[in-house]
Structure 1
């Protein structure tokens, strides 16, 4: 049998355990057998090939550590442990029976080394992954499975670290532990794992269609920039909740800001990746445009008093929806105030709850039969959209009254007082009317509360953390929404007089300045 020249060691490698190093040393020294009990004869100068899978995916619970940090950690461990190693990043790909082929071809292309079954064994203790290599003729050398009892798998050790359970550090190779601590990666991993606002893949929900959101953000960027541009203070400008970078693309073309640094920050991995792709394609006129996936609620992103303008567009309602409500909005305001330079501003544009939101109104809707709500759990966007398209406005309210409280944990108080008439607080009626046309992203939008804050609430919050409110600030009504969305099959009436109720303010724009 041909002596083995390469040991392929695939994995995400967010940390390296002491046992992994011990086992790899054992394999290289010729003291290991494959899963069938056959000795693995190693050639002189045999090399470990660390295939870092999901190398293009980071900042999520599934992949908390960026690939460049993983690669540097492996190099540090290999140097200290005397392991002859090569590192090959492998792009993140969906689960597929061709996964092994992707890893092998990526590694071979990156390293210029042919990893064929005759000269390569695969070190692996994940049964499903090992099976993919076995099918292609590779011999499998167990790693953790070679011991009884089985040592902790790397991902299990990572979870112990997240919980800071006693003894986890002893399971990590000392060189890997030094590296993780030097770059504060353990704190980063814990923050990523415990973030209540994002899914395992780094998104707000698992039902959001980002193609739809990106298109909507882009189409509205000109209007949004026109709204906020007059109040921007040049210098360091931060678009918090930047999505795919549409607003910063407009800002980069503003002659006043050619000498400014533009920063886009978003919690969503998918949107930051799209923004960085656009930057790499030359979409931004200003070369000083930077993007980062961060959550400002977990830790400050910028030094104190270093930001001249923070812009938030359609962000604050998401923070209150996915986090701890108004408490998180206060924390956000405190963090933004801390990072704002004296004389700098926070410009916010978002939806707004109506003044006197607890006032009862009659919501008159087309379609007398309210029908029954359908459980759409697990439905894809196409199916959800198709079902909602069949509902009358009255039936849509029934569906909303079931989905919104279940997904957002908020109230939706509905009393059917007559055919096609629902008596409810004005706040709840506007919550429904603001949400009902988001058919494709219905399950995602029903997580969100649009009417939490009234203007008086914002004024108290901003002044409470130290901001001064500029005269341009205040509530306003989007009359296009009134004409093209709210009044379609719906009307507001006073329950006592039956007269029409004026449509309330729907949005807020405020400019909050840190005193000089």
Structure 2
């Protein structure tokens, strides 16, 4: 079988000795075309290694094995039956090379992908799943998972080119951090159900308000916004003449939001040349050197660390990391939702039954147009659905058709989430009322921070007047009305000068 090119598609995060043996045996004088898929993804569980490091290992393997290679990046696309055709077109656009069944074969051991190339008329050569092999070798992903699990036998299975690149650029540590991260999902976000377009719009709309809230507490120098979203607050900081000599640093774990930050910077949205963005998860390890940051800002972040991590264990680790990278005299400014004082007290919550449908029972597993379904429920019926979808312990006792007994914290967790129907399946994964202000102060001082007197709780009266009061009311079990509790906290935490 004669061919001029061997197309070898794959993510190619790690190269194996078996792959090298296969290619040197099969390719002969043909050029190996490495189509590196998901080339625009990195630092996620599914794609932990950046493209340029993958390319470096491929080129090193090719030189060591005497292979003539072309390496072509293929950006990630939504699942499509045209994947093979798109990849071939990418190769042509990048290299001017038109691969056809007449001049190329494909090497692939993923049945679904192999079928797509076969459908285009290409001959497909099996790699790891060749039935002629006495036993199937480990695939590259399996070897990478050995590395992630701390199994040093990965070095015996990986090609020396990957071992070398991983060692020089400390990629083994990076892979272990991201693959074993308890917070970040496979694609680099906190939850697969989140509509990031909605979040970008919300970040932009609220940036001015957030900046006005924290501006007086910001200390010039190295200023970091962790969980910076699309960088909207840093745009406010960039416009401050008093901060023109400061470094403005954004840290974001969600790939969609980080990419928007990079795009903004490339488009000239920032005047300060010392604006930097990093795609990192602080829980995965230190992002900044000890005592190197003057001001850290976090907005609506800590409740996510609590919710998607191991609650207090993860939050304490995060607070300790902030303390560690803060200079003596530096400040951490944290603005987030907050549980009500006395969140464990039992209350009676009266909810409207006339503002929507009242099905006999909640849906066990929502699907389809979730927003339309939940949005069509009465407030009382929405509580029943919330209890099913909320992933934290949540209990209540019906007192009458429209009154339930539950803790004040659970009541506020429902009430502050009940109108988020567009992201219902995402919002019900988060707990807003895990900590009250006294808990926060105890945690901060325990780690070593001093809590500034400017720290305080607030209540969002717009939410009360427009979302809560029209359809709900709070009472003590004896029927005495209760005022609506606080919903947010601003925490100003300073590292003492003598530390």
Q: What is the TM-score with the length of structure 2 in the denominator?
A: 0.95
**How many angstroms does 1:373 deviate by?**
4.1
The yes-or-no answer on 1:374 pairing with 2:374 is: no
* Partner secondary structure for residue 451 of structure 1: coil
- Going from structure 1 to structure 2, the CA distance change for 1:180 and 1:174 (only over 3 Å counts) comes to same
* Structure 1 residue ranges without an equivalent (≥5): 30-41
Structure 2 unmatched runs, 5+: none
- CA deviation vs aligned residue, 1:328-374 (integer Å, no higher than 9, x gap): 11111110010011221100000111111122221111117964443
> Cα–Cα, structure 1 residues 237 and 63, in superposed 2: closer, same or farther, change >3 Å?
same
Once residues 136 and 411 of structure 1 are traced to their aligned partners in structure 2, the CA distance between those partners, rounded to angstroms, is 52
Deviations 1:277-310 (A, max 9, x none): 2222222232322222211112010001111111
Residue number in structure 2 paired with 1:34:
none
CA distance, structure 1, for counterparts of residue 94 and residue 361 of structure 2: 53
CA contact (8 A) 2:178 2:284 kept: no
Query: In 2, Cα distance between the equivalents of 1:374 and 1:17?
Result: 50
Q: Is 1:277 matched up with 2:263?
A: yes
Distance 2:471 2:265 in 1: 43
Identify the range of structure 1 (269-278 vs 216-225) with the bigger mean alpha-carbon deviation.
269-278
* Residue 487 (structure 2) pairs with residue 513 (structure 1): no
RMSD of aligned residue pairs (Cα, Å): 1.7
Asked if the contact 2:323–2:448 (Cα under 8 Å) also holds between the matched residues in 1, the reply is yes
Equivalent residues in 2 for 1:255-266, closer than 5 Å: 255-266=241-252
Contact 2:362 2:384 in 1 (8 A): no
1:116-175 Cα distance to aligned partner (Å, 9 max, x none): 322222122222212222222222222223423221111122222222336322110112
User: Contact 2:248–2:276 at 8 Å: present in 1 too?
Assistant: yes
Partner of 1:39: none
- The DSSP-based 3-state class of the residue aligned with 2:399 is strand
Give CA deviations for 1:462-510 in whole Å, capped at 9, x if unaligned. 11111112221121212122112221210112221x2321111111001
Is the Cα–Cα contact under 8 Å of residues 9 and 124 in structure 1 kept in the other structure? yes
CA 1:126/1:419 → structure 2, altered by over 3 Å: closer, same or farther? closer
Partner of 2:396: 414
Residue 503, structure 1, aligned to residue 489, structure 2: no
Match of 2:428 among 434, 446, 455: 446
Aligned residue number for residue 116 of structure 2? 132
Give me the whole-angstrom Cα distance separating, in 2, the residues matched to 1:55 and 1:343: 42
Q: CA deviation at 1:377?
A: 3.0
Question: Once the 2 structures are TM-superposed, how far is the Cα of residue 434 of structure 1 from its aligned partner?
Answer: 0.7
Which one of 452, 469, 479 corresponds to residue 487 of structure 1?
469
Are positions 1:20 and 2:27 aligned together? Answer: no
Choose which of 326, 336, 342 in structure 2 pairs with 1:356: 342
Q: Which position in structure 2 is the counterpart of 1:37?
A: none
Matched with 1:120 is: 104
Give the number of aligned pairs. Answer: 493
Q: How far does residue 19 in structure 1 lie from its aligned partner after superposition?
A: 0.7
Q: Note if 1:466 corresponds to 2:475.
A: no
Give the Cα separation in 2 of the matches to 1:330 and 1:460: 11
On the 8 A contact 2:364/2:388 being kept in 1, the answer is no
Structure 2 CA distance for partners of 1:311 and 1:376, relative to 1, 3 Å = farther
